[in-house]
Amino acid sequence: MEPSGWIGQKHKLKHLMRSVHTGRIVHALLLTGPEGTGKRAAAEYLARGLVCAEADPPCGGCPACKQALAGIHPDIHVLEPERGMIRIDPVRALMNALSMRPYSAKLHVAIIDGADHMNESAQNALLKTLESPTGSVMFLLIAESASGLLPTVISRCQTLRFAPMSVQECAQTLMAQGIAPERARTLAGLAQGAPHKALRLNDDTEFAALRETVLRSIETLKSDKDVLTSANLLTQDKADPMRILDMLELWARDLMALQNGAPPFEADDVAKLQRCGIHGKRMLDAVLLARRQINANVAWTYVLENLYFSLLSHPKSTR
């Protein structure tokens, strides 16, 4: 299964591969964009395409592709930050490796994931090689933003930007990967349209359990006397309050859209809240207030109880 967050870039990547294979070369590519938009997956795909010598690379089946997929291709080099930083020594070691002849491919592919975490001396060490391309190295620099990079580094690279998808597009991508519609929508919303982030959430069993707990907590909320018990379900959990608020905010927005006449989503979560008589706009206001309170260091128990009282303030109103 190929990761799909960068699917919109695939024709560009194929074009780049062809350019490199036919000698019209790009020496360095800078892949930028928010977390979870598939930059690393795109870089790995491109790396496979560059070491594969078959007609339509990456073929996925040749020895080079198999080595690349297993992360053991000798000519694909990956550098990542250690304790938040890429320092000069690993960059020098990489440059040294790149000065040798490639082992089995036509060129070396050097992936620097977290290139914006290179300190200045590391970037300068990289620059020496970037400035005198030999044709036997392709650099793939990955960075959330280019702002941490020296202008001289940026100017040597062709930039490829990765944007989050709309929540709807992201949900469709997730559904195409076999994720149930309501779950896909929740994941896409929480990941703000970044499919790889959504997929990570999907693999997170804690997240699935939390979603159940949050829903159950709201469902048990029938009147003021339930507030403490319902809130207790969540405050006893060690989950990050902001994560719970993210979930509640997403549902509140969906509920609001539904109550304002948007066509119903295939989202079971929202239907459940609707049946509980929750008012979307009131819920959203309460969640936004809760966020401000958390940021002001108000105790989570108090914030959540307060939020639940607001949800109940007009229990019959659904519009």
Residues that bind Zn ion in the complex, under the rule CB under 5 A: 52, 54, 59, 62, 65
- List the one residue out of 187, 184, 165, 167 whose CA is nearest residue 175: 184
Evaluate the omega torsion of the peptide bond into residue 58 and state whether it is cis, within 30 degrees of 0: yes
The C-alpha atoms of residue 251 and residue 259 are separated, in whole angstroms, by 12
Comparing CB distances to Zn ion, the nearer of 65 and 160 is: 65
Q: How far is the CB of 116 from Zn ion (least distance, A)?
A: 31
> Residue 54 or residue 219: which is nearer to Zn ion going by CB?
54
| Cβ closest to Zn ion, residue 52 vs residue 141 | 52
Q: Which of 48, 15, 28 is nearest to 135 (CA)?
A: 28
How many angstroms separate the CA atoms of 298 and 301, rounded?
9
Tell me how far CA of residue 47 lies from CA of 2, 11, 206, in angstroms: 14, 15, 33
62/233 with CB nearer Zn ion: 62
SS3 at position 217: helix
Nearest-approach distance from CB 51 to Zn ion, in angstroms: 8
For residue 12, give both structure tokens. 């560009």
Min CB(62)–Zn ion separation in Å: 3
Task: State the residue number with the nearest CB to Zn ion.
Answer: 52
Rounded to a whole number of angstroms, the minimum distance from the CB of residue 104 to Zn ion is: 12
Q: Whole-number minimum distance, CB 66 to Zn ion, in Å?
A: 8
Give the span between the Cα atoms of 119 and 128, in whole angstroms.
15
Alpha carbon of residue 195 to chain centroid:
6
CB 87 within 8 A of CB 122: yes
Q: Which is nearer to Zn ion, 54 or 212 (CB)?
A: 54
| Nearest-angstrom CA–CA distance, 119 and 129 | 16
The Cα–Cα gap between 227 and 276 comes to 14
What's the rounded Cα separation, in Å, for the pair 153 and 32?
14
Q: How far is the CB of 269 from Zn ion (least distance, A)?
A: 42
Q: Distance (Å, rounded) from C-alpha 36 to C-alpha 40?
A: 9
Q: Shortest gap between Cβ of 282 and Zn ion (angstroms)?
A: 56
- To Zn ion, the closest distance from the beta carbon of 59 in angstroms equals 4
Which CB, 47 or 227, lies closer to Zn ion? 47
> Dihedral of CA 295/296/298/304: which sign?
negative
Instruction: Closer to Zn ion by CB, 52 or 143: give it.
Output: 52
> Which residue lies nearer to Zn ion by CB, 69 or 256?
69
Phi/psi at 142 (nearest 5 deg)?
-115, 130
